[in-house]
Amino acid sequence: MAKVIDGKAVAAGVIEQVTAASNALEAETGARPGLAVVIVGDDPASHVYVSSKSRMAKQCGFKSVQHTLPAETTQVQLEALVAKLNEDPEIHGILVQLPLPDHLETDPVIQSIRPEKDVDGLHVVNAGKLMTGDLDGGLISCTPAGAMLFVRQTHGADLSGLNAVVIGRSNLFGKPMSALLLAANATVTTAHSRTRDLAGVCRNADILVAAVGRPQMVKAEWVKPGATVIDVGINRIDAPERGEGKTRLVGDVAFDECAEVADTITPVPGGVGPMTIAMLMANTVTAAMRAHG
Please identify, using beta-carbon distances, which residue of 127 and 159 lies nearer to ligand GUN: 127
Q: What string marks each residue from 100 to 139 as x (binds ligand GUN by CB under 6 A) or -?
A: --------------------x-------------------
With binding defined as CB under 6 A, does residue 98 bind ligand GUN? yes
User: How many Å apart are CA 130 and CA 283, to the nearest integer?
Assistant: 14
Judge whether 118 counts as a catalytic residue: no
Judge whether 43 counts as a catalytic residue: no
Amino acid in the structure at residue 223? V
Residue of 118, 120, 231, 252 marked active site: 120
Of the residues 64, 97, 178, 283, which one makes contact with ligand GUN according to CB under 6 A: 97
Query: Taking the complex as a whole, how short is the minimal distance between the CB of residue 99 and ligand GUN, in angstroms?
Result: 7
Judge whether 97 counts as a catalytic residue: yes
With binding defined as CB under 6 A, does residue 143 bind ligand GUN? yes
Query: Taking the complex as a whole, how short is the minimal distance between the CB of residue 2 and ligand GUN, in angstroms?
Result: 26
Please identify, using beta-carbon distances, which residue of 95 and 164 lies nearer to ligand GUN: 95
With binding defined as CB under 6 A, does residue 54 bind ligand GUN? no
The binding site for ligand GUN (CB under 6 A) comprises 95-98, 120, 142-143, 172, 276
So which residues are the catalytic ones?
A: 53, 97, 120
* Residue positions forming the annotated binding site for NADP(+): 168-170, 234
